Amino acid sequence: MLRLHASDGNFIDYIYTLKPDDLKVDFTIQFNGVEQLIGKNNPMIDLNWSIALRQQEKGYKWEDQYSTIYYKYFEDEVGKINPRKGGGGSADLTTRVEWIAFKQQFFSTVLLAEKSFLSARVSTTKLPEESNHLKTCTSVMSIPVGGPDGDRVNMTFFFVPNHFKTLKALGHEMEDLVDLGWPFISWINKWFVINIFNFFEKYIANYGIIIIILTIIFKLIVFPLSYKSYLSGAKMRVLKPQVDELTKKFSADKAMEKQQATMALYRKAGVNPMGGCLPALLQMPIWLALFRFFPSSIELRQQSFLWATDLSAYDSILNLPFTIPAYGDHVSLFTLLMAISMMVTTKINMDQTSTAQPMPGMKVMMYLMPVMMLVWFNSYASGLSLYYFFSNVFSYIQQVVTKRLVNEDKLLHKLKENQKKPVKKSGFQARLEKMAKEQQAKQRR
């Protein structure tokens, strides 16, 4: 207990109650005669709480971006100060507040009011990197003095790991302290990724192996989409000779007519040129969900795999004597392997779906995208680069297996049979052709 004497017989007590093997500390403020000093017309007092967040993780940049202040309005939603604001930020909470949390990448300190704070003002200020601190978090909370509840204000400190299920068990929507991404992708992490991790960690001690198993599971789930994508590419590949013949029939100034003829060929054969793109688009939520999960997952903190000493931070096989802008001062081998495997699988996909006229700039993108990923991911969680690397490896294996399952001679025969059948135009196709003819007529005029 700590006591602050205000005057004779008037004081404030801070009473802390620690329980064994618990994540919380009960905190009670006991007022004695203080309302006589502050006045009956102002029955509240400000509680100031601040801390300088010390850097605890390997990657300063990412720890800084995940460190901020969270708060929960009374019987309402959870909010936060945007941690990516350059110099910090602030928020005036003018309504009742249930709890306020000073959050870092993997640990948080939460102050919960038994009957809520009347209002609060919270702010963060960024500190220089050389100070070994991230930012200062400050909260000024209004608490009642006197009144029908007496002269006691009961609160609870929670000193917690940012572990989703641990926080969820504590209630009060504290699980929102774990940044699992936007609502349209967070459900993937909540219902699939976290449960897969929690299941396999009971039997497997190494999280690198668990990540590989997670990769296999997701690749098997999306295999029907990958198969459909490959089949679409195979259809376009076997029709390539016919597309080449159409290209010879039309001169360079008849690009519109050539495009119409090509689309008509695909329509008769029953080929959707976008069939290879849609499956990849449908897999994007999984990609984004894992992008947000790995830097937030305390399960990976200080977990090693091969040369990586911490799967929640970057791995480094070479420390550079200088810093490359946007890249950093080290070389991440998992990121390098990811970029190389991405380039190889992209080239294979392009070769399999090549047509008479490849899209302009596709070859440039084939090399540019892996380079961009190499720069972006060099300081990111090595667990994520590990996942994407093995994802590319298994994609290649799936392509080899799928190639053996698809007989292109039989596929071409089937497409030729389709071309003999009458094609019923959809309303959308009819409107497209009408628009194309009107455009041609305008060009002639």
Q: What is the pLDDT of residue 153?
A: 87
3-state secondary structure of 111: strand
Model's pTM, two decimal places? Answer: 0.79
* Residues near 72 by beta carbon (within 8 Å), at least 6 away in sequence: 78, 79, 97, 98, 99, 172, 173, 176
User: Do the domain assignments include residue 437?
Assistant: no
Share of the chain above pLDDT 90, in %: 34
Mean predicted confidence (pLDDT) in 297-304: 91
Give the whole-angstrom CA distance, residue 89 versus residue 379. 25
Give the whole-angstrom CA distance, residue 235 versus residue 141. 65
Read off the pLDDT of residues 326-369 as tens digits, 9 standing for 90 and up. 888 889 999 999 999 988 887 776 665 554 455 555 567 667 88
| pLDDT exceeds cutoff 70 at 417 | no
Q: What is the pLDDT of residue 368?
A: 83
My answer on whether 6 and 151 are in the same domain is: yes
User: Do the domain assignments include residue 343?
Assistant: yes
My answer on whether 230 and 154 are in the same domain is: no
Mean predicted confidence (pLDDT) in 229-245: 73
Quote the number of domains for the chain: 2
My answer on whether 18 and 124 are in the same domain is: yes
My answer on whether 142 and 57 are in the same domain is: yes
My answer on whether 151 and 271 are in the same domain is: no
User: Do the domain assignments include residue 330?
Assistant: yes
**Mean pLDDT of the chain, nearest integer:** 82
My answer on whether 222 and 163 are in the same domain is: no
Higher pLDDT, 430 or 100: 100
My answer on whether 108 and 252 are in the same domain is: no
Mean predicted confidence (pLDDT) in 5-33: 85
User: Do the domain assignments include residue 190?
Assistant: no
| pLDDT exceeds cutoff 50 at 208 | yes
Q: What angle do CA 51, 163, 310 make, to 5 degrees?
A: 85
My answer on whether 339 and 297 are in the same domain is: yes
| pLDDT exceeds cutoff 80 at 443 | no
Q: What is the pLDDT of residue 125?
A: 92
User: Alpha carbon of 77 to those of 18, 73, 96, 171: distances in Å?
Assistant: 29, 6, 12, 13
3-state secondary structure of 31: strand
My answer on whether 125 and 206 are in the same domain is: no
Read off the pLDDT of residues 103-135 as tens digits, 9 standing for 90 and up. 999 999 999 999 889 999 999 999 988 888 999
* pLDDT band (50, 70, 90) for residue 79: very high
Q: What is the pLDDT of residue 212?
A: 94
User: Do the domain assignments include residue 346?
Assistant: yes
| pLDDT exceeds cutoff 60 at 16 | yes
My answer on whether 172 and 239 are in the same domain is: no
* pLDDT band (50, 70, 90) for residue 164: very high
Flag the least confident range among 198-202, 204-208, 325-329, 417-421. 417-421
Q: What is the pLDDT of residue 362?
A: 59
Q: What is the pLDDT of residue 356?
A: 43
Mean predicted confidence (pLDDT) in 244-264: 68
User: Do the domain assignments include residue 187?
Assistant: no
Range of the domain at 44: 2-179
User: Do the domain assignments include residue 441?
Assistant: no
